[in-house]
Chains A and B, each alone.
Chain A
Amino acid sequence: MPSKDVAIIGVGQSNFVRGYEGSIKELAFEAFREAMQNAKITQKDVDASIFCSAPEYDKQRSPAGVMAEYMGLIPQPTFYLESVCSSSSMGVKVAYSMIKAGLHDLVVVLGFQKMSEITSAESQERMGRGADIQWESPFGTMMPGYYALYAQAYMAANGLTLDDLMNVRIKSGTYGQINERAVYQRGVTEADFDPANEKARMWGPVASPLRVGDCCANADGSSCIILAGADRAKALCDKPVWVMGIGAASASVNMVGRPDFAKGMQGPHIASAEAYKMAGITAADIDVAEVHDCFTIAEIMAYEGLGFAPIGDGKQLIREKATYKEGRIPVNVDGGLLSKGHPVGATGGSQIRTIVLQLRGEAGPMQVKDPEIGLVHNVGGVGLYSNVTILGR
Chain B
Amino acid sequence: MDVNRTVPFVDWDSAPFWEKLKEGKFMLMECSECHHVFFPARIICPECWSSALVWREASGNGVIYSFTTVEAGATAAFELLTPYTIALITLEEGCRVFGMLRHGAERTPAIGAQVRCDFEIDSNSGFVFPVFGLV
Contacts and interface: CB of A to CB of B under 8 A. Distances in A.
B49 interface: no
Q: Which of B5, B14, B84, B111 has the most A CB atoms < 10 Å from its CB?
A: B111
A208 B88 contact: no
A135 B5 CA distance: 14
Listed from nearest, the 10 A-B pairs whose CB atoms lie closest are A148-B68, A153-B66, A205-B71, A140-B78, A256-B96, A149-B66, A124-B75, A208-B69, A135-B40, A207-B68
Contacts of A215: 73
Interface string B52-89: 00000000000001111111111111100100101010
A209 B66 CA distance: 11
Interface of B: 5-9, 11, 14, 39-40, 65-78, 81, 84, 86, 88, 95-100, 111, 127, 129
A137 to B, nearest CB: 5
Given A138-B6, A140-B100, A254 B40 contact: yes
B69 A138 contact: no
A172 B76 CA distance: 30
Contacts of B97: 256
A380 B96 CA distance: 23
A138 B8 contact: yes
Contacts of B71: 205-208
Given A121-B76, A156-B111, A256-B95, A138 B5 contact: yes
B69 A207 contact: yes
Contacts of A141: 86, 98
Contacts of B67: 149, 152
Given A139-B86, A140-B70, A205-B71, A256 B40 contact: yes
27 contacts: A124-B76, A134-B11, A134-B14, A135-B8, A138-B5, A139-B98, A139-B99, A140-B5, A140-B6, A140-B100, A142-B70, A143-B73, A144-B70, A144-B73, A149-B66, A149-B67, A149-B68, A149-B86, A149-B88, A152-B111, A153-B65, A205-B72, A207-B68, A207-B71, A207-B73, A212-B72, A261-B65
A142 B9 contact: no
A139 B76 CA distance: 13
Contacts, number: 110
Contacts of B11: 134
A121 B72 CA distance: 13
Question: Secondary structure at chain A's binding surface: helix, strand, loop or mixed?
Answer: helix
Interface string A229-261: 000000000000000000000000011110001
B68 A145 contact: yes
Given A208-B69, A212-B72, 20 more contacts: A124-B76, A135-B14, A138-B8, A139-B99, A139-B100, A140-B6, A142-B78, A144-B73, A149-B68, A153-B111, A204-B72, A205-B69, A205-B72, A206-B70, A206-B72, A208-B71, A209-B68, A255-B98, A256-B39, A256-B97
Nearest to B129: A138
A150 to B, nearest CB: 7
Q: Which of B65, B73, B111 has the most A CB atoms < 10 Å from its CB?
A: B73
A295 B101 CA distance: 24
A261 B86 contact: no
A148 B72 CA distance: 13
Contact of A135 (B73, B76, B77, B98): B98
